[in-house]
Structure 1
Amino acid sequence: MDPQLRGDRATVSVTAREVEQAGNIREFLGDERPTLSIQAAGSPETSLTVPAELTSVILQLVDLVGRGCTVTVGSIPAEVTTTVAAQMLNISRPTLMKLVREQRIPSHKVGAHTRLSSRDVIDYRRAQLARQSKAFDELRALEEQWDITD
């Protein structure tokens, strides 16, 4: 595993051996979400229990590596500009500003500039995807109900 570092991102291409190792871990764990402990090499009395939230991130990484995926890890600042938030949502900045004015996404002012919490933007995106998925499911149900085929 040789990460390519670029700013606040690291991209890791995995080897066949690493895919096998991650697969072994996935197979060992099955569907369980265990508590993980880390032990310092050469110091069996020194160990640390990994918090559940971080364990979830580690297990997601192991799952991706086990499937042979190239993994990119990046960071998002806690607070973003309207331009960045619009890019995160894949909408125009004027559309984002309309959502801010309608108070559909929380924001605050820093001087004359509008800033948004990246957590609020991510939560809005998740809700947007859930709404889209629900609408798609309803459309599929109507197609089945009316026996519409391609």
Structure 2
Amino acid sequence: MNVTSLADFGERLPTAEEVDSAAGAMMAIETSREADGSLTIGDTKLSPSLVDLMSDLFSIVARGETVTLVPLSRQLTTQEAADLLNVSRPFLIKLIDQGALNCEMVGTHRRVALKNVLTYKAKRTAGRRTAMAEMQDIAEDLE
């Protein structure tokens, strides 16, 4: 299947027909799962993790929300990476210059691997959770 022929719900909302068909597909998946969570379609047995992925995808579309599937190997522009991290592009450039985030140069342009952006985001979230837990401990000690 050609990647450019895939529906990109990141650019538009699903139609009412797509919402209904996604809801039906999600229900069919959930009622046809085997005891171990797998699903057999024809001669092919899908692993529980693939079934979960399909079910999650259909669930999102059934709610009428937008979705885009992107491989982890995709290279992002600095603006796309900044948008994903919810930071400004100049701040992202500082992260790259400080070595907190790796990039590759394509000509004169920086490209950041999606995998690296998601790894950085997970570390940042973990750091925030740790800091919040420490603040809660301090607040409890003060009471």
TM bucket by the smaller chain? 0.5 to 0.7
Post-superposition Cα deviations, 1:53-111, rounded to whole Å, max 9, x if no partner, equal 4223124346668xx84442213471111111111111111211111112211111001
Structure showing greater radius of gyration is 1
Q: Unpaired segments of 5 or more residues in structure 2?
A: 1-6
Q: Tell me the residue number matched to 2:80.
A: 84
TM-score, normalized by length of structure 2?
Answer: 0.68
- Give the 5 Å matches for 1:100-139: 100-139=96-135
- For the 8 Å contact 1:106–1:116, the answer to whether it is kept is yes
Match of 1:75 among 54, 69, 73: 69
Q: Tell me the residue number matched to 1:35.
A: 38
Q: Which amino acid aligns with 1:37?
A: T
Structure 1 residues 138 and 92, CA gap change in structure 2 (3 angstroms):
same
Q: Which amino acid aligns with 1:143?
A: A
Q: Which amino acid aligns with 2:130?
A: K
Structure 1 residues 11 and 130, CA gap change in structure 2 (3 angstroms):
farther
Q: Which amino acid aligns with 2:125?
A: L
Q: Tell me the residue number matched to 2:30.
A: 25
CA RMSD of superposed structures (Å):
3.3
SS of 2:66 mapped into structure 1: strand
| Larger helix percent | 2
Q: Which amino acid aligns with 1:73?
A: V
Structure 1 residues 111 and 90, CA gap change in structure 2 (3 angstroms):
same
Q: Which amino acid aligns with 1:116?
A: V
| Larger strand percent | 1
SS of 1:74 mapped into structure 2: coil
Q: Unpaired segments of 5 or more residues in structure 1?
A: 40-46
- For the 8 Å contact 2:77–2:110, the answer to whether it is kept is yes
TM-score, normalized by length of structure 1?
Answer: 0.65
